[in-house]
């Protein structure tokens, strides 16, 4: 299932990521991980102390990938609006949902402080990064009016996460796109006349 050049360590992490996505923490058994990774019990316990350590490594990798994908859009050139738009419109598997956001729906992940930490840190990082970009737009005069950077950042993250939910509920990416378009319309209204042109 995984690349033959992938190390056993990486196969175990990737298998755990897939299983967490498909079955949640409780449904991800050590035996299922070993079978999916094509690794023996000895290999698993050679690399990880147990399922919690492996789940933590998997969640950290998922969170790291989400940060990298977001930064790819947010760190590009252009205006604050253009960077936010690039983030909102970047390619996503909308019907699959957000791999980090979905972890917030797993009661066993959320109940465990150590497993929850990478999820919480990633969403906080995203809000901080977006708030900084909104503040850049305000400082440069691109955005005008009573636009609070932290509130706006939270609205952007909530739009994306809520868009995933709406899309999955309907079985179509259209509600996600509609939510993004609505948010961008609101941000366009906050742009100064000289930068919106």
Domain locations along the chain: 1-48, 61-196
pLDDT in tens, 64-97: 999 999 999 999 889 999 999 999 999 999 999 9
The whole-angstrom separation of Cα 52 and Cα 59 is 10
CATH topology for 61-196?
Answer: Tetracycline Repressor; domain 2 (1.10.357)
At 195, the pLDDT band (50, 70, 90 cuts) reads low
Q: Thinking of the domain 1-48, which architecture would CATH place it in?
A: Orthogonal Bundle (1.10)
Is residue 105 within 8 Å of residue 165, measured between CB atoms? no
- Contact criterion met (CB below 8 Å) for 60 and 118: yes
Does residue 24 carry a pLDDT above 60?
yes
- Candidates 108, 94, 39; CA nearest to 13 is 39
C-alpha–C-alpha distance, residues 130 and 107, integer Å: 27
Question: What pLDDT score was predicted for residue 77?
Answer: 87
Q: Is the pLDDT score of 196 beyond 60?
A: no
Q: pTM for the complete prediction?
A: 0.90
**What are the tokens at 45?**
């316990």
Which of 125, 136, 13, 151 has its CA nearest to residue 68?
A: 125
- What number is the average pLDDT over the span 36-50? 88
Distances (CA, A) of 4 to 1, 35, 140, 146, 180: 9, 15, 51, 55, 39
Residue 66: per-residue pLDDT: 95
Q: Calculate mean pLDDT across residues 123-145.
A: 96
Contact 191, 197 (CB under 8 A): no
What per-residue confidence (pLDDT) applies to 192? 74
Residue found by looking up tokens 């737009």 in the block = 137
Could you read off the pLDDT of 156-171 as tens digits, one per residue?
999 999 999 999 999 9
Asked if 176 and 164 touch (Cβ cutoff 8 Å), the reply is yes
């Amino acid at each position: 299932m995984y690349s033959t050049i992938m190390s056993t360590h990486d196969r175990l992490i990737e298998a755990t990521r897939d299983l967490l996505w498909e079955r949640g923490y409780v449904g991800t058994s050590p035996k299922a991980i070993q079978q999916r990774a094509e690794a023996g019990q000895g290999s698993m316990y050679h690399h990880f102390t147990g399922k919690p350590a492996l789940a933590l490594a998997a969640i950290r990798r998922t969170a790291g990938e989400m940060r990298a994908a977001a930064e790819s859009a947010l760190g590009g050139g252009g205006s604050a609006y253009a960077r936010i738009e690039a983030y909102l419109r970047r390619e996503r598997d909308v019907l699959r949902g957000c791999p980090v956001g979905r972890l917030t729906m797993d009661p066993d992940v959320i109940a465990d402080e150590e497993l929850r930490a990478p999820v919480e840190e990633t969403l906080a990082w995203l809000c901080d990064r977006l708030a900084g970009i909104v503040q850049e737009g305000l400082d440069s005069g691109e955005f005008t009016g009573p636009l609070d950077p932290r509130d706006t950042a939270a609205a952007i993250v909530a739009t994306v996460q809520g868009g995933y939910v709406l899309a999955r509920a309907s079985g179509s990416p259209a509600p996600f796109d509609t939510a993004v378009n609505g948010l961008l319309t609101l941000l366009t209204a906050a742009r100064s006349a000289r930068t919106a042109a």
